[in-house]
Amino acid sequence: MKKEMFLAVGCVVTLLGALLGVAETTIEMDMNAAEALHEADAALNTAYKEVMAVYGEPQQEALRLAQRAWIKYRDACADSEGSLYEGGSLQSVARTRSAVALTEAQTELLRALLPGAVAALPSETPDPETLREARVRAETHMKKVYADYRKDYEVPEVVEAQKTWEAFRDLWVAAETACYPADAATTVKERSLAALNSDRAERLKELFMEGYKEEEASGETADLAFEDPPLMKAVAANDLDAVKRLIERGANVNEVNDADYTALHVAAETGNAAMVTLLLNAGARRDLYDFDGRTAADVAREWDKPHIARMIEEFGAPSTEQKPPEPQPQATPAAREEAPGPEPVDLEQLLDSFGNLTELRQDQWNRDNEWKHIVRGAGEVSEVNRTGFLSEITDAEYEVTCELRGGDRAVLYMDKNHSDFVLDLEVGDTITFTGKLKNMQDWGFWCSGYVKVD
């Protein structure tokens, strides 16, 4: 997609309007957009004053900071969307219309903080893990859409718009959280982050897909075709033998196409249970999202294949279901132990047994068991630190320390691909984890398990 295409389309629209006498002239479009912005600004100011009148000074200050950040975002985003038509007669119209849409959206956010709207929220407390998963999913989806958008619009305005949006997002979440009771802070934060990221993704997708439509209409569709990897094509053809051969030759089962589909997404859509099992046993990841933010299990449900969705989600759990058609060959016993699907053991149980060993036996235990256990656990975050220069593990970038029941600790190492997840954690948050055990240490006051989370 190219910015020039928007410019050309803008010129065509204006020319057709002049020839046919049915469309607005550019001047009329400018005037109408300006009038709409004036009305939207008035509504925004009214909502802002109403919200400020019902909260105390701490909340008011948080709202002021968020609103100032939003103004910067609105201006940067409007400039960015207007720049798609740079040099054309529709640039000003596009910019103003963008400002109108953003202003109306911000007005709705403000109105949602009025007492009546706050009181109308559900009283039951949702599951924290469900909220966290929704927030992570929305963030992941937004980042993918933004990355795709930038591929075609590599201009400073796009980058600036995203930076100002991120600043606004963080300040708005802080303001919104301040307007609710303290015991609802985590719930409000997770919901707000999920909603803001989803809205941003949809706005980018709207522009992104508009460009697709314009290119398609012009006949410039060469880069619109999704070129699937060979493995994905074999999965789509339900050719089990071809899929097995490609995997044996080293095909990446988690490779994605231009729509961020994986082979597992395709198998989920076709509903081929044997294919799904084969891919899962070959290391297909269940947590990868496509362009629309869907996992393979989500795709299966959308195609009315709930049994496939359950198969994907329950993979690795003890089951009496049939064995996979042909498990992948394992080079050594160690490779089998680290392959996807082994039953994780509870970290706290290991820590209890480890503390009873002598110092020499503890050292021997670590040497014998390093990387051999896949452990799970849950705790409350007590520290979040960057540890790339301290970690014994090569790829580690961040460290999260969790307090477990009974006072023990789990120190989790996350690589750079998990940085956003880790940086969103705060002291006091609850976290569940599964990862490979690096080693354990008896500190006298507590035992710590060092875990690499993949």
Predicted confidence at residue 49, as pLDDT, reads 93
Is the separation of the CB atoms in 227 and 258 below 8 Å?
Answer: yes
246: tokens are: 């490609």
Span(s) in the chain for CATH 2.40.50.140: 345-453
**Nearest Cα to 453, choosing from 382, 389, 403, 401?**
401
pTM for this one? 0.49
165, amino acid identity? W
CA-angle at 137, arms to 119 and 421, nearest 5°: 100
What is the rounded distance in angstroms from the CA atom of residue 190 to the CA atom of residue 429?
11
Is the separation of the CB atoms in 307 and 273 below 8 Å?
Answer: yes
Give the DSSP per-residue string, 1-64.
--HHHHHHHHHHHHHHHHHHS-SPPHHHHHHHHHHHHHHHHHHHHHHHHHHHHHS-HHHHHHHH
Kindly report the CATH number that applies to the domain delimited by 230-313: 1.25.40.20
Q: How many residues does the chain have?
A: 454
What is the rounded distance in angstroms from the CA atom of residue 88 to the CA atom of residue 126?
49
User: 345-453, which class in CATH?
Assistant: mainly beta
Give the DSSP per-residue string, 77-130.
HHHHHHGGGTTSTTHHHHHHHHHHHHHHHHHHHHHTTSHHHHHTS--SPPPHHH
Q: Map tokens 């919104």 to a residue.
A: 176
What is the rounded distance in angstroms from the CA atom of residue 405 to the CA atom of residue 352?
12
Predicted confidence at residue 450, as pLDDT, reads 87
231: tokens are: 């493995």
Is the separation of the CB atoms in 23 and 16 below 8 Å?
Answer: yes
What is the rounded distance in angstroms from the CA atom of residue 5 to the CA atom of residue 211?
8
**Nearest Cα to 30, choosing from 95, 110, 107, 125?**
95
CA dihedral 140, 142, 144, 147 (to 10 degrees): -140
330, amino acid identity? Q
**Nearest Cα to 373, choosing from 343, 410, 401, 403?**
343
Determine the straight-line distance between the first and last CA of the chain, rounded to whole angstroms. 35
Q: Which residues contact 107 (CB under 8 A, 6 or more apart)?
A: 40, 43, 44, 47
Predicted confidence at residue 416, as pLDDT, reads 62
Predicted confidence at residue 428, as pLDDT, reads 82
259: left (phi over 0), alpha (psi -120 to 50) or beta: alpha
Per residue of the chain (454 residues), give pLDDT as tens: 444 444 444 444 443 444 344 345 777 887 888 899 999 999 999 999 999 999 999 999 999 999 999 999 999 988 888 877 777 777 888 889 889 999 999 999 999 888 876 555 555 666 777 888 788 878 877 877 777 777 666 667 888 888 899 999 999 999 999 988 887 888 888 888 888 988 888 888 776 655 444 444 444 433 333 456 788 888 888 888 888 888 887 888 888 876 778 899 999 988 888 899 899 988 899 888 877 778 899 888 888 888 899 889 888 654 444 444 454 444 444 433 444 456 788 888 888 888 778 777 788 888 888 777 888 888 888 887 765 444 445 455 678 888 887 778 898 887 666 655 665 677 888 888 888 888 888 876 678 888 887 6
Span(s) in the chain for CATH 1.25.40.20: 230-313
What is the rounded distance in angstroms from the CA atom of residue 110 to the CA atom of residue 48?
6
What is the rounded distance in angstroms from the CA atom of residue 361 to the CA atom of residue 377?
24
3-state class of 408 per DSSP? coil
What is the rounded distance in angstroms from the CA atom of residue 227 to the CA atom of residue 215?
18
Give the DSSP H or E segment for 416: none
Give the DSSP per-residue string, 240-268.
HHHHHHHHHTT--TT---TT---HHHHHH
Report the half-sphere exposure of 44 (CA within 13 A, side-chain side): 20
